[in-house]
Amino acid sequence: MAENRTKPTDASVEEFIEAVDHPGRREDARVLLEMFTRITGEPPVMWGDSMIGFGSYDYTYDSGHSGTFFRTGFAPRKANMSLYVLGCTGSPEKRARQQELLDRLGPHKRGVSCLYVSRLGKIDLEVLEQLIAFDMAAMEEQYPA
C-alpha cells in the first residue's frame, strides 16, 4: 500500500505565507488563516510544502488504503486559492446544503473536494465562513475526533 506523501511538517505557516510571491494571494492567505483558525478552533499546520491544514483525521477506504489528512485547509497557488472545504457530502441532504452555499458564494470552480477561487474580494466571505463551518461539522460527523 502506498504511503501518503502529504504529511504535517514543522514548517512555519507564517513564514510560508510571507513567502507567497503574489501580494494579493499573500493577503488573501492572511485573511483565510484568520478565518479558518477562528472557525475551526484548530492551530494551522503546514502539510507538505504548500498546504495549510486545520485539524486531522484518520481514514480507511474500502480498498484498505488508510492514512491521516487535515480536516480542512487551503493552499495559495499561482493560478488561484485552493480551499479544501468540499469533503463529506455523501448524503443527498449534505450535497443539497453544500450546493446551496456554493450557489451563493460567487465565482468559483470546484474539484472533488476542492474549491478554487481567484480572489477573496470576488466572493461572499460570510458564505465562505458558512461553507467552512458546514464542512467541519460534516467531517466531525463522519470522522469523530
Rounded Cα distance between 76 and 78, Å, is 7
As for how many domains the chain has, the answer is: 1
The per-residue pLDDT for range 78-96, each reduced to its tens digit, is: 999 999 999 777 788 989 9
The per-residue pLDDT for range 26-73, each reduced to its tens digit, is: 999 999 999 999 999 999 999 999 999 999 998 887 888 888 899 999
Model confidence, pTM: 0.92
70 within a domain of the structure (yes/no): yes
The per-residue pLDDT for range 82-134, each reduced to its tens digit, is: 999 997 777 889 899 999 999 999 999 998 889 999 999 999 999 999 999 99
134 within a domain of the structure (yes/no): yes
71 within a domain of the structure (yes/no): yes
What is the CATH number for 118?
3.90.1150.200
8 within a domain of the structure (yes/no): no
Domain boundaries, position 102: 13-142
Nearest to 39 by CA among 140, 143, 142, 144: 140
User: What sign does the CA torsion over 130, 31, 35, 48 have?
Assistant: positive
Residue environment code for 93-130, b if the CB has 16+ CB neighbours within 10 A, otherwise e: ebeebbeebbeebbebeeeeebbebbebeebeeebbeb
